[in-house]
Amino acid sequence: MITKLVVASSNQGKLLEFAALANSEAIANQQFQLELLPEFAAIPPFDEKAPTFAENAAGKALHYSQFSNEYILSDDSGLVVPALGGAPGVRSARYAGPNATSEDRNAKLLHEMRDLTGDERGAHFVCALAAARAGRAIAIITARADGEILPSPRGVAGFGYDPIFYLRELDKTFAELSPNDKNALSHRGKAFRRLFDVAATF
């Protein structure tokens, strides 16, 4: 039996990571099919105003499940810097304004952290995944990846804050990892694999 999950997102970086995760051998063997929500841009958007990643992910999944008969998969994720009171947090994508680029957001964060040193530069990525169908929440899962923020970007892979998110044990940023290596360690990869364990019970 194949379980279909329809992804409700317009973030191309996330879609690429989801596709890579869904096509990985370990997950593919569990017989899951991943698709994009048709005509996503034409659907009234969900207003992400909740204070937590999990609430935003659940809200999105429930909202978009009104427009499909399939299981809807949605996520909310971002970067948390405790020394900045949790910022960028749930506003990670809007941290430097609604039309800012990833470079703009990274530059703003580095400016805000310019006087921070040592443990103050600690940070973690959070990913909350939610699955829903026909207005009913099926599963909500969260995971995180811990690291620190470099004073300047390194690497060209990935997206978002990846070039400044540093893994000390590997001496690399997320943007310096191959897609497979990043998916093995990332917040989204961890959450996605846990979701598929739960999805076996759908």
Cis, peptide link before residue 179, omega less than 30° from 0: no
Q: In angstroms, what is the C-alpha Rg of the chain?
A: 17
Whether 162 is catalytic = no
What is the rounded distance in angstroms from the CA atom of residue 142 to the CA atom of residue 57? 10
Give the single-character DSSP code of 22: H
Strand order from edge to edge, sheet including 32-36: 32-36, 3-7, 71-80, 122-133, 136-149, 165-167, 172-173
Q: Where do the H-state alpha helices sit in the chain?
A: 12-22, 25-28, 53-64, 102-112, 179-185, 187-199
Selected catalytic residue, list 47, 76, 104, 115 = 76
Q: Which two tokens stand for residue 102?
A: 């990833």
Give catalytic residue positions: 76
